[in-house]
Chain A
Amino acid sequence: MSTAIRLTGLRKTFGDVVAVDSVDLEVADGEFLTLLGPSGSGKTTVLRMVAGFEQPTAGAIELAGVDVTGTPPYNRDVNTVFQDYALFPHMNVLDNVEYGLRVKKVPKAERRSRAQEALDAVRLGDYGERKPSQLSGGQRQRVALARALVNKPRVLLLDEPLGALDLKLREQMQVELKELQREVGITFVFVTHDQEEALTMSDRIAVFDAGRIAQIGTPTEIYEHPKTAFVAGFVGVSNLLEAGAAATILGREGTWSVRPEKIRVMLGEASAEGNERAAAGTIHEVVYVGMATRFFVDLDAGGTLIAVQQNSHATSADVNAMRGQRVTLLWNTENEIHVGS
């Protein structure tokens, strides 16, 4: 498979602030890649450099094997879906979608029909005459998508496009976006700070930490085998055994992590069997969340682990009664993840 985007040694500083530092990244044709990280981690700056809105301080950007580092945005075969959609308020929906074709001098009849097609694809075929201000947030989002996709770009850049939508709509759009990407086969680079969104939609995820890529891999790799404490904490729940506790419980050096759903909670004393590990502690907080319960357990060896248990039989009264009780946590040693020295 050929490469859609190649970033080498990408660096961007704003005054004294280093926003992006030594980013190397390859995105394959047709891939759905997510740039995941907290705000200020540099993910949006990377996206803006690929789009051409920011010039890198150092490093190179290649699109389909061609160096475009100094190319202005209007000459790059990429389109962007902006966080606030950036629809042109003085144009109706159809004119908005047509805009890219219009400035590229596509004949009127052709661009009309292609724009209408794109609007149909996002199920807004009857909304062409409306102004953006007459649409809901979700509809504007889909117009922005149609406006970008109608140009059939090599790469589509999406800057937290679902951030402004409410939860239900966001979950629905996650599925729709993924389906759309599969249909059109265009490379998607998607920026988000929402780890669940990243895990749901992506072929690969690049986790950003302070301007650098902390880890890049498939959702499973990122979730099951985080390489650093930051990745373990940002993707999923931070569940760390710091040096002292790790030495006592695991007999191993360094910082370790265990995913909450891999831990079983047993009341009272219990001993480990086979390749299991056991750690004693006291439940100091219980959070009932409907389908599951989160137990915050203070370990005797120091530190706190969170364990999640399905509420197959337990009611909220049952689990709430467990607050303050002595428990033993059990997990399989293969679920111990080394996240730092």
Chain B
Amino acid sequence: MTTSRGTKVALSIFAVIAFAFVYVPLAVVLISSFNAGDTLAWPPAGFSTQWWAKAIDNEGVRNAIVTSVVLGLVATAVALIFGTLAALALSRFNFFGKDAVSLLIILPIALPGIVTGIALNNVFTSYLGGLTFMTLVVGHSTFCIVVIYNNAIARLRRMGGNMEEASADLGARGFTTFRLVTFPLMRSAILAGAVLAFGLSFDEIIVTTFTAGPGITTLPIWIYQNLFRPNQAPIVNVVAAALVIVSIIPIYVVQKFSSADERGGGVI
């Protein structure tokens, strides 16, 4: 495609502005976390790691991080099992109401979190004996399943039924075919889905508010609670900065995986 010089310049400027809107605030958070002063005033008073030290010492932060990580891992594990199995079932078999089932699986991601939250809260408190850590896991699994299911079924569609037929033709039974052919071909898609699911769970706040048992504080809830307390604000800043750095890693891993798929001929 050819574009005129004027268009190129204009597009470049728009791109820079768009990126700046997203990444300048993140950079400000990162820089402020090393601020020597006691407030979030700009420009920073000087360089210091005092807030990082204080954040690491803060028991509330540490507990919240552990809660969020464990929650994310458990919800993702649950979603991996159900999402993958649902994708295999819906791609493999034809049955009455198949489209409806598919819709019901995907729906939770489109439903407003507040609706899911209130509905689950009602059921848990009225009929199932109240809120615990497990009710929180169930709440998060509702949307974690969707992303893993979506990734898995997209890969299965691209794969077609031929690979599994070829495997059966060469003498492999169902489970051997899954172990040697289907799963290896789905692995990168499932992994990408799992990373995304963990990420969604990790920063979820609405469903969490309605389904978390008493005394359970996830990291986003902790941040929300402490953001407007002036003496905690610098620590919140450090936590946010740490999250920016940590979240780069899984995104990088997923990108590596999917590009390796394309090169190594993931699915032809």
Point out residues on A near B: beta carbons under 8 Å.
Answer: 51-53, 72-74, 78-80, 82, 84, 86-90, 99-100, 102-104, 131-134, 147-148, 151
Partner of A74, one of B168, B180, B184: B168
Contacts of B163 in A (CB 8 A): 86, 88
Partner of A82, one of B166, B184, B265: B166
Assess whether B266 is in contact with A147, with CB atoms less than 8 Å apart.
no
Q: In the assembled complex, how far is the CB of residue A127 from the closest CB belonging to chain B, in whole angstroms?
A: 14
Of B43-51, B145-153, B170-178, which binds chain A? B170-178
Cα–Cα, bound, A212→B42 (Å): 83
B185 at the interface (CB under 8 A from A): yes
Cα–Cα, bound, A90→B264 (Å): 7
Cα–Cα, bound, A250→B265 (Å): 62
Extra 20 A-B pairs, beta carbons < 8 Å, given A88-B167, A103-B172: A52-B168, A73-B165, A73-B168, A74-B173, A79-B170, A80-B166, A80-B169, A86-B162, A86-B163, A86-B166, A89-B264, A89-B267, A90-B185, A100-B170, A100-B171, A102-B180, A103-B176, A133-B264, A134-B265, A147-B170
Assess whether A90 is in contact with B184, with CB atoms less than 8 Å apart.
yes
Q: In the assembled complex, how far is the CB of residue B166 from the closest CB belonging to chain A, in whole angstroms?
A: 4
Cα–Cα, bound, A53→B168 (Å): 9
Known contacts A84-B162, A103-B180: A89-B171 contact under CB 8 Å: no
Contacts of B176 in A (CB 8 A): 103
The total of chain B residues at the interface (CB under 8 A) is 21
For the residues of B in contact with A, the DSSP-based class is helix
B206 at the interface (CB under 8 A from A): no
5 A-B pairs in the complex with CB atoms less than 8 angstroms apart: A52-B168, A74-B170, A79-B169, A80-B169, A103-B171
Q: In the assembled complex, how far is the CB of residue B85 from the closest CB belonging to chain A, in whole angstroms?
A: 21
Contacts of B265 in A (CB 8 A): 89-90, 131-134
Known contacts A100-B171, A103-B172, A104-B171: A89-B165 contact under CB 8 Å: no
Assess whether B181 is in contact with A74, with CB atoms less than 8 Å apart.
no
Residue of A nearest to B268 (CB): A89
Q: In the assembled complex, how far is the CB of residue A88 from the closest CB belonging to chain B, in whole angstroms?
A: 6
Cα–Cα, bound, A52→B171 (Å): 12
Q: In the assembled complex, how far is the CB of residue B93 from the closest CB belonging to chain A, in whole angstroms?
A: 14
Assess whether B169 is in contact with A51, with CB atoms less than 8 Å apart.
yes
Known contacts A84-B162, A90-B185: A131-B264 contact under CB 8 Å: yes
